[in-house]
Amino acid sequence: MEDHRAEMLVNWNHCGCRSGRRQGILGGGPQVRGTTGPPSGDRILCARVPCALCARRYTTKKKKKHVLSTKKNKKILSETSSSSAEKALSASSPADDAELLQIYAMPVFDMMESYLVKELRFPPGLTLRLITRSAYVTKRMVVEMVVLTESGSAVAKLGPATNEKDSEKLRLIEEMTANTDEVQKKVLAEILKRNAETEYLRRYGLDGATDRAAFKAKVPVVTYEDLQPDIQRIANGDRSAILSAHPISEFLTSSGTSAGERKLIPTIKEDLGRRQLLHSLQMPVMNCYVPGLDQGKGLYFLFVKSEMKTPGELTAQPLLTSFIKSEHFKNRPYDPYNVYTSPTAAILCTDSFQSMYAQMLCGLLQRLDVLRVGAVFASGLLRAIRFLQLHWQDLCNDIAAGSLTIKVTDHSVRAAVAELLSQPDPELAGFLAAECSKGDWAGIITRIWPNTKYLDVIVTGAMAQYISTLEYYSGGLPMVCTMYASSECYFGLNLRPICEPSEVSYTIMPNMGYFEFLPHGDDHVQDQSQRLVDLADVEVGKEYELVITTYAGLNRYCVGDILRVTGFYNTAPQFRFVRRKNVLLSIDSDKTDEAELQRAVESASALLRPYDGTVVEYTSHAYTKSIPGHYVIYWELLAKGVYNGDEALEVLKRDGVMERCCLAMEETLNAVYRQCRVADGSIGPLEIRVVRGGTFDDLMDYAISRGASINQYKVPRCVTLPPILELLNSRVVSTHFSPAPPTWSPLRRPAN
């Protein structure tokens, strides 16, 4: 094997891609913020292939590369890389990897004051990654390196902890992930023992058995529809031990029943403690990567949604609403790493306008204290930016006057804001007005909140469509996805939070529930129960559907998430979220599948029949270039009556039929979609774009020209590829929007 590793290690470039701003914010300090090249006097390393934080290499005006060429550094690298790296390449145990770490435990890496190495490739096939992207990498941080081999195994260590409290949390992560299979056995045995006398487990003849073999042999894999009769009994007031031996305390709502209503996910009181435990692990992990988070605050846009009562008087509400309303959140002890700019009263306010206004105002008043900005979903953060665009003048007026607008009427919110807005601040108001009135909102987040180190938002799955917009508004700040959770269960953490959105992987914490995995793509095999794989036995590179067993009584329940195994942390697998099973469209927390979209189109197309019109073909797109985003439905129409195509369309437009079709579709979509439209304002009015005749034939021709089989071609019900969108949009003859919000009420109860 040709040995050119020493040359590769030496041949680095200075970085000058303006991400000095981003890197400085990560901890390098204000001395590098806004620079276009490396700080003077520092030797900064940047990957030979530009790292993800660097858009381009830094070169002189003569386009000559800057390389680390001191004799001392060359000597160090040449003497160690050949022997140590060669030995490390063939390492078969974690102990041998210490040789590889020695390459990095050298003064050359202490020079990385503001930039860091993202990736370095050694032939053949070994990739070295620094899982830290802190603002500096020194000898004491070398332990954060992950060595990924071709087999997908990993040797990793979180740390060092910044304090004793963090140290305890990191030790817990190490303990749980070091003994994944044993922890899983204990969790399953505990769940089966406590729920042994439930109606559900007795129904399948488990007879008190707590071992895996009996559980897998007798208990079937189920979906929500399978459990719905039992769940409905609980919702109607049956308090017997149907699913769980512990009383069901409330339902967490989730989108997507076949009838278009929310799923009701049963939960018990102790589940809140498990959720709180996983929440408590987030900041200790973040502190390993981003220093100084205890020196400021987080600007998080958090909101509660309306709850409903089931016929049996149990509360049903979304997961985040349940957590925010809990005593765990409302009476949380002071923690310097978890201080929010938003008063709790503002977060708990059910009026979305008043809540957003108060949270934004408080964030502006404390702008220099803000170290991180976030929301649950990327769409939520973009909605906050849009709110600022629409209301910055009112906000500036309040700051200049030192008093809160009369538009905010909630007394508790007004009292909480008054503690911060105690006197006029014309200087701050003038600064904000100047920034917001420039017209160019590029980098507005770092312009207003200059000490922001990262964005804390979910940008995986359907939220990936917002990444480029967030990059524009943030000036390229890192986007951190910290945790993987759902209404059914909390699953795991991202142990490499400062990574590219496309590289986000979550490490499943084996103490949260019992996890099994259904290999994805083997639908021809009838007995799903026999194909399930345990958590510790999944294979790197393969995709699985997540199946869970929870303390609250969900047994072998298909969550609907498709995950890809990317590696292991100790013995715990790490997964990348691929997609929701069968979901076509999603803007916010909504999820619309193909069957639901088909029903909506059928419902709306009924309005065309009096005009002898019909929908020949259709497809859809989640449009996110506007804030909020909205559904776009492409229709190709056929006129069967006396009118030709153009005449028929004119009649439909004259009578407002197409607008009514938009509203009819919205009325047919699920309750989560309608709540996002009506109460949250997180989804805009549905749009129908009518395309000229023959458009879908052109779409098929395009697909065939790209290699599709004419015999197997089916019209895609959702499109995302730019060439296809360009083709469709070039043939649009009219556009129509829903004229009013659809019907939605928080008091709507599940049907008996």
pLDDT in tens, 624-663: 888 899 999 999 888 765 455 577 778 888 888 999 999 9
Q: Which stretches of 143-262 are assigned E, i.e. beta strand? A: 145-148, 154-155, 250-254
pLDDT of residue 645: 58
Residues 597-610, mean pLDDT to the nearest whole number? 90
Is residue 25's pLDDT more than 60? no
Picking from 25-29, 572-576, 660-664, which range would have the lowest pLDDT averaged per residue?
Answer: 25-29
Confidence of residue 31 (pLDDT cuts 50, 70, 90): very low
CB 519: neighbour CB atoms within 10 A?
Answer: 17
pLDDT tens column, 419-464: 999 999 999 999 999 999 998 899 999 999 999 999 999 998 878 8
Give the SS3 label for residue 578.
Answer: strand
Confidence of residue 580 (pLDDT cuts 50, 70, 90): confident
**Token pair recorded at residue 49:** 């292939």
Confidence of residue 24 (pLDDT cuts 50, 70, 90): very low
| 79 vs 463 pLDDT, higher one | 463
pLDDT of residue 463: 83
pLDDT of residue 334: 87
Q: How far apart are CA 504 and CA 219, in angstroms?
A: 33
Helix (H) or strand (E) holding 384: helix 378-401
Residues 526-532, mean pLDDT to the nearest whole number? 67
pLDDT of residue 727: 94
**Token pair recorded at residue 665:** 């579709």
Q: How far apart are CA 72 and CA 84, in angstroms?
A: 18
pLDDT tens column, 464-505: 878 888 999 999 999 999 999 999 999 999 999 988 998 999
Instruction: Identify residue 57 by its one-letter amino acid code.
Output: R
pLDDT of residue 5: 27
pLDDT tens column, 320-369: 899 899 888 888 888 888 899 999 999 999 998 999 999 999 999 999 99
The CATH code for residues 178-269+484-580 is 3.40.50.12780
Instruction: Give me the percent of the chain exceeding a pLDDT of 70.
Output: 74
Name every residue whose Cβ is closer than 8 Å to that of residue 722 and which is 6 or more positions away in sequence.
none
pLDDT of residue 232: 95
pLDDT of residue 708: 65
Confidence of residue 710 (pLDDT cuts 50, 70, 90): low
Q: How far apart are CA 657 and CA 609, in angstroms?
A: 11
**Buried (b) or exposed (e) across 121-133, using 16+ Cβ within 10 A?**
ebeeebebbbbbb
pLDDT tens column, 531-547: 899 999 999 999 999 99
CA pseudo-torsion sign 318, 319, 322, 323? negative
Taking all residues of the chain, what is their mean pLDDT, rounded to a whole number? Answer: 78
Q: How far apart are CA 175 and CA 384, in angstroms?
A: 39
